[in-house]
Amino acid sequence: MKSQTGDDRSINTSAQPASVANPSLERPDHGFDLLALPLLGRFLRWHRSRLVLQIPVFLISLIMIAHAFWGPQLAPKNLAALLTWVHFRGLVVLVILFAGNFFCMACPFMLPRELARKLYTPSLRWPKSLSNKWPAIVLFVGVLFVYEWCDLFSSPWWTGVLIVTYMIIALVIDALFQRASFCKFVCPIGQFNFLGATLSPLEISVRDRSVCDRCETKDCIRGRSGGSSTATHSDAGQPSKRSGALPVVQRGCEMALFQPRKTGNLDCTFCLDCVYACPEDNVGLFTRIPGEELCVTGTRSGLGVPERRSDFSALAIVFTFGALLNAFAMISPVYALESAIAMATGLTVEWPILGAIFVLFLIIEPAVLLLGAAAITRRITQSSESLPVIVKRYAPSLLPIGFGVWLAHYAFHFLTGVLTVIPVTQNAVRQATGSDWLGRPQWQLGGLPESVVYAIELGFLSLGLLGSLIVASAIGRHTANTAVERPTGWSLAPWGVLHVALFLSAVWIMNQPMDMRGTFLGG
């Protein structure tokens, strides 16, 4: 296993239990298994359940694309802009918080890929140099930048272009490269969902590791071929090319997550292929303590050692500080900052000014704050480790407060405009059919009062702060137990101060008048 890149070319599926290889990842007790529920469990166990979820989402995506190009170009009256920037984003974070990564499970971009693979089997391997999170990080920052630069929130046409481009990129990559290369290494939405899902209350895991220890076929990752679980495979999730090999009737995990050694939701799309492939019915969808995976360390299947990987740390940093930047860009002080940069530099073009803001908030500010906290921690604990090593170890503690900011921001738009989709849909039907068979548009429909939503925002931010403090404390205790640092009660102080500072920054942003920027009808 490649601990630094997470490359999936060499996957160790030996029968050694994960608890033996890494005691810190042992969690002997499971919560309730959702697959045991009478109706929901039966549906999820059905191997067509993902397709049933993907089809309606795909059809909605097609409607959004059509309305983006041929509907009204006023964002509050266009389904593409409204559903993308108000409803989709809000629902994603709320579903992740209360359930898990079910949006990746129902991803509409994977449906064209599945159809394409019926006609063509990809033969290429994803380049080793790109088998990490850096491509996704670049695209994640790129999407945030284009969102602000091109005012995607107020442009249905460009929103439609973004959706189509995203779909084409996913189709091309997964049509050419084996396994789920787009999801694992490229998709910025997927990386957002993976990080957010670390705070989810559900996790796909094995019921009994001793059953996995006795398993010889490892179908959960290799797949099942031709009705026989003993068929050979040349690579995890890929059928053997040798003569006489049986075709794969149920693929294994295309994200290279070997269930007995899998921990948490990182890189897990909730596709449930491992559930369908396991011949012993030993994989379930269990409840758990949200965020517990952030408190453990060590080698994880398909990921290597996340706390030693610079790409994972950078992804966590961009995820957290990007949340603050995206919210800050929605309030009026951002215009004052842009004016100050323009006056100081003499720039008159928007994109370099916006680029300077991104460099300030996504590179300079995180570097100063995180390296400063690491330097204080090293001095207090008398550690000999380098500052980047300390930053990478504590980077997971950023995720709860970062996700809290995303929740507060996106929930604000969603909850204050949750009913606006009704009149926009009514108006779209009127324009398409010339009739009011869905009723006359009720433009006065909106959502919850801002005072109520503000209380919810503070709740999300407070939970995020609490989660970050708990995770930082757990990381500190584990570090002290391994004698990396000299135990002291003050070693966590710089990280606690950092998390509180991020919390207060978010509260200040949420107290500013929020610019709806073309995505809210306002009655």
* Tens digit of each residue's pLDDT (9 = 90 or more) over 492-501: 899 999 999 9
Averaged confidence pLDDT in the chain? 87
Note the pLDDT of residue 137: 97
- pLDDT higher at 229 or 276: 276
Q: Provide the whole-model pTM.
A: 0.89
C-alpha count within 13 angstroms, C-beta hemisphere, residue 10: 7
Residue 15 reports pLDDT greater than 60: no
Which pLDDT belongs to residue 481? 62
Give the pLDDT of residue 515. Answer: 66
- CA dist list (Å): 101 to 32, 193, 315, 337: 17, 6, 18, 36
Q: Say how far apart CA 167 and CA 161 lie, in whole Å.
A: 10
What's residue 4's pLDDT?
44
**Of residues 103 and 229, which shows the higher confidence score?**
103
**Is the predicted pLDDT of residue 413 greater than 80, yes or no?**
yes
Residues 183, 193: Cα–Cα separation, whole Å = 11
Examine the pLDDT at 14 and tell me if it is beyond 50.
no
- Asked whether 194 and 266 are in contact (CB, 8 A), the reply is yes
The mean pLDDT of 37-48, rounded to a whole number, is 94
The arithmetic mean of pLDDT across residues 441-460, rounded, is: 93
pLDDT-derived band at 523 (thresholds 50, 70, 90) equals: very low
pLDDT value at 116 more than 60: yes
Q: What pLDDT sits at residue 235?
A: 45
In percent, how much of the chain has pLDDT > 90? 68
Res. 248: pLDDT tops 90: no
At 250, the pLDDT band (50, 70, 90 cuts) reads confident
Task: Tell me the HSE value of 121 on the side-chain side, using a 13 A CA sphere.
Answer: 8
How many other C-beta atoms lie within 10 A of the C-beta of residue 38? 7
First vs last C-alpha separation in the chain: 56
What pLDDT does residue 114 have? Answer: 85
CA distances from 458 to 291, 454, 462 (A): 19, 6, 6
Which band of pLDDT confidence, cut at 50, 70 and 90, is reported for residue 298? confident
Around Cβ 275, how many Cβ atoms within 10 Å?
Answer: 21
pLDDT surpasses 60 at 271: yes
Q: What is the pLDDT averaged over residues 2-17?
A: 44
pLDDT of amino acid 491: 76
| Angstrom distance (rounded) from CA 247 to CA 228 | 10
Q: What is the DSSP letter of 363?
A: I
Report residue 249's pLDDT band, with 50, 70 and 90 as the boundaries. confident
Rounded Cα gap, residues 84 and 153, in angstroms:
9
Task: Name the β-bridge partners of 206.
Answer: 283
Band of pLDDT at residue 121, cut at 50, 70 and 90 = confident
- Owner of token pair 């490649």: 2
d(CA 79, CA 93): 20
- What would the pLDDT profile of 425-436 be if each residue is shown by its tens digit? 999 999 988 888
Burial call 378-401: b when 16+ CB within 10 Å, e when fewer: bebbebebebebbbbbbbbbbbbb
Q: Which segments of 436-492 does DSSP mark as H helices, in order?
A: 450-481
